[in-house]
Structure 1
Amino acid sequence: MGRMEKLKGYLSDVAVELKKTSFPTRDQTIGSSVVVVVMVVFMSFFLALADLVLAKVVGLILR
């Protein structure tokens, strides 16, 4: 079996698998994006607060 036949077989398998794929709707994509943005903002505030608290604790220890 030559390279071209292997490539054709591979591309044929890819096409079959892509037909089985279900893509999210616009509403699902927007909903997921909102969840991601909210979690990023929440984690940013949490990490900033943790950094502030730990910096104060280390500052008190090193005095």
Structure 2
Amino acid sequence: MAKKKKKNLEQAKKQDQGLQGKIAQFKEFFEESQVELKKVTWPTRKETLQMSGTVLLFVAVLALFLGLVDVTLAKIIEAVLS
């Protein structure tokens, strides 16, 4: 019985140390993340608006192009099938 209790105590200690190790790794990860975020060069409001406008314009042009291709191919297929 004494061996069984001793073994259970040893296992409990190992699990507790494993949990503490995971918590330490978690803390270290967030500390390193904060350091890296301080190194980031964030865009200005003007840059963000310019890039957003560029993306929206590109999406509109691409949508128009794909719409025209779709209509053209639909007409071609309709002509072939009739």
The bucket for the TM-score relative to the shorter chain is over 0.9
Instruction: Verify: 1:48 aligned to 2:67, yes or no.
Output: yes
> Which portions of structure 1, spanning 4 or more consecutive aligned residues, are displaced by more than 3 angstroms?
none
CA–CA separation in structure 2 for the residues paired with 1:10 and 1:40: 38
Which string of whole-angstrom CA distances, capped at 9 and with x for unpartnered residues, describes residues 9-40 of structure 1?
A: 11111011101111100010000010011011
Q: Which has the higher helix share?
A: 2
SS of the residue 2:42 aligns to: coil
Taking structure 2 as the reference length, the TM-score comes to 0.72
CA–CA separation in structure 2 for the residues paired with 1:4 and 1:60: 68
Q: Which has the larger radius of gyration?
A: 2
SS of the residue 2:51 aligns to: helix
In the comparison of the two structures, how many residue pairs are matched?
63
For structure 2, the residue ranges without an aligned partner over 5 or more in a row are 1-19
Taking structure 1 as the reference length, the TM-score comes to 0.93
